[in-house]
Structure 1
Amino acid sequence: MGLVGTAVAIGAGAVGAVFLAPVALGAAGFTAAGVAAGSIGAKMMSAAAVANGGGVAAGGVVAVLQSAGAAGLSGAATAAAAGVGGAVGWLASFIPRK
């Protein structure tokens, strides 16, 4: 893949990750109304509560994911998602095409 193709793959990965992150959070059960019952998020919350003696630690993974699911991604989280998506796009540019 040439330089232009690599740049396109990086850009598509970055943009795709930013747009798909909220979809993935909702699918995992982290919604604006709270953690959806029976979801992966609910299982994570239960495990975190058991590990922490009955409560979910502020700033922990479950709390951060629920915050992002309820309020959307912060600027830093959007940048992180774009960075990860761009890295995945760059790696995907090395996959040979037939």
Structure 2
Amino acid sequence: MPKTIYTDRDIDDLARRGVKELAVSDDVYLTDLARERAERVGMVLRATPNTITKSENREANPSRDNNEQVVNQVKAAVIAKLGAEVDAAMIERIVRRVVEQL
């Protein structure tokens, strides 16, 4: 099962749309800035139990080769979205840190 990653910008968008509560489980990752922003805008982060079984979880955890593929795809997507003037090495470090936590 894929994970959902929320950034501070995502929290801003949700708050603008009137979202007051966000369900957080093992399948949802919030960046540190997203957690701070949610707190600042008064959004409640509600912990929900994870619904996947251990066998499904094993299948969902990407292998080391797949991790590299995910890192490369996400890094390319971020650079495409933000433009070539971003620090590619910094983007890669951030993406790797997030992928390691998945």
Q: TM-score, normalised by structure 1?
A: 0.29
Structure with higher Rg: it is 1
Highest RCO, 1 vs 2 (Cα 8 Å, sep ≥ 6)? 1
Q: TM-score, normalised by structure 2?
A: 0.28
Structure with higher strand content = 2
